[in-house]
Structure 1
Amino acid sequence: MNTLPKSITPELLSFCRSISLERPVYIRSKRSSDAQMSACFDNVARKITRAGGTIAYGWAVWHIPGLYFEAEHHGVWRKRNGELIDVSPQLGDVSKILFLPDAAAVYDPTQFRSNVIASVSDTPIATEFVALAKARNAILDRYRTGEHISVMLSAADQSMLDTITRRLNELWNLAGN
């Protein structure tokens, strides 16, 4: 599933402004050979050790047409010449991501930042999808330490997560995605 926004629309800009006053930018995604999934801050730190540069904090922005926008706390590598590159693997091996710079979103491994999710419309399907996506994230966030889920989910939480996932998939199909 490719959730990269196809263009920077007024609705997308409005969502981004609710998070940061910076303008979102498309940046090249070029995975480092030692990069791990869901470990962007560690991936960037290793890249800086090898090649110099700095980290740029912000948010990877995703979009499911007809359903929602989502911003995921993210770090990317800023080369010495200022170019931003996403060195972390992304689902679907995308060639670029939409990055929303946010200097205030500094990574603190003791304080996980939950994804920011907003509906793209007030249709019943979009509203339910966003509510379920937030419920899913709330369950997963309870188990996070730093960038990773630290333990196996309880049986009750896993059951709830399975139910949520099934319904999200149904709504996804109803929305025509």
Structure 2
Amino acid sequence: MGEARRKRLTGQPGGDGAAQLQVKKEWPTFVIIRHGVAPINADYVKNFCMQVDANSSAVEVKCAPVKGDLKDCFPLVEKQVQNSGGSLVLGWAIWEIVGQMIEAELHAVWRSAEGDLIDISPRERRFNSITFLPDTKGLDFSRQVDNIRHPLTADPRIHKFIELHRQRFALFNEGDLADKMGVVELSPQAARELYLIERELDSLPFLAVE
């Protein structure tokens, strides 16, 4: 998934910031928010998809998860292609926090030899289908691509949430870091900035969305 191969702070930087800090790319777990599948026929979803890729149209893709890493769709689909034929289709999974935010996440699904699009990625939460926007821009998934987020409310907490994640992604993907996955090292200054970003995210008073 697009921003699923993420980096996360694994410790708190010391006050003097004297040493580099190892971090792992993954989603921070401190904000309790549950994404749902964005409704494919809603006008605001169609408008959002137009902003993401004006030459594409969203489709409903059924889910048939296989065993594998919850964090990374690309190797799963590549393996499926090797074993069963078909092809990898790159695009965006369109998610929604109801009434608060809509989000596009870089994602890959499998096109079977019969031409059917199937989402084989396992998730902690099971879905029957997802809203998927095929890519027409020739995106490169060998490097990290940030999620595209758009607020559905004027609530300043949502706007702050989006901005903090933009800053977080920029921090983790500056220079050569953009080509690195898994555990990476941040400079003392960057580690301190990351700590402040994650602390501020942790302070946002979100409620769980069921």
- Which TM bucket (shorter chain)? 0.7 to 0.9
Mapped partners of 1:153, 1:88: distance in 2: 30
* Deviation readout 1:53-82 (Å, 9 max, x if unpaired): 111110112222343222121111011222
The percentage of counterpart residues that share the same residue type is 27
CA drift of 1:45 comes to 0.9
TM-score normalised by structure 2 residue count: 0.69
Mapped partners of 1:97, 1:154: distance in 2: 38
Which residue is 1:28 aligned to? 62
Mapped partners of 1:158, 1:90: distance in 2: 29
2:39 corresponds to 1:11? no
Relative to structure 1, the CA distance from residue 160 to residue 93 in structure 2 (aligned partners, 3 Å threshold; closer, same or farther) is farther
Larger Rg: 2
Mapped partners of 1:73, 1:46: distance in 2: 18
Deviates more, 1:149-158 or 1:123-132: 149-158
Give yes or no for contact 1:59–1:71 (8 Å, CA) kept in 2: yes
Q: Which runs of 5+ in 2 are unaligned?
A: 1-32
2:144 corresponds to 1:101? no
* Deviation readout 1:89-142 (Å, 9 max, x if unpaired): 234344432211113244342x43222122223332222121112112222334
2:104 corresponds to 1:60? no
Which amino acid letter does the alignment assign opposite residue 44 of structure 2? E
Q: Which runs of 5+ in 1 are unaligned?
A: none
RMSD: 2.6
Relative to structure 1, the CA distance from residue 135 to residue 16 in structure 2 (aligned partners, 3 Å threshold; closer, same or farther) is same
CA drift of 1:159 comes to 4.3
Give yes or no for contact 2:164–2:197 (8 Å, CA) kept in 1: yes
Question: Secondary structure at the residue paired with 1:57?
Answer: strand
Give yes or no for contact 2:38–2:95 (8 Å, CA) kept in 1: no
Deviates more, 1:148-157 or 1:58-67: 148-157
Mapped partners of 2:77, 2:70: distance in 1: 12
Which amino acid letter does the alignment assign opposite residue 161 of structure 1? L
Mapped partners of 2:62, 2:185: distance in 1: 34
2:146 corresponds, among 93, 98, 114, to 114
Higher share of residues assigned helix: 1
Mapped partners of 2:104, 2:191: distance in 1: 24
CA drift of 1:172 comes to 5.0
Which amino acid letter does the alignment assign opposite residue 71 of structure 2? S
- How many residues align? The count is 173
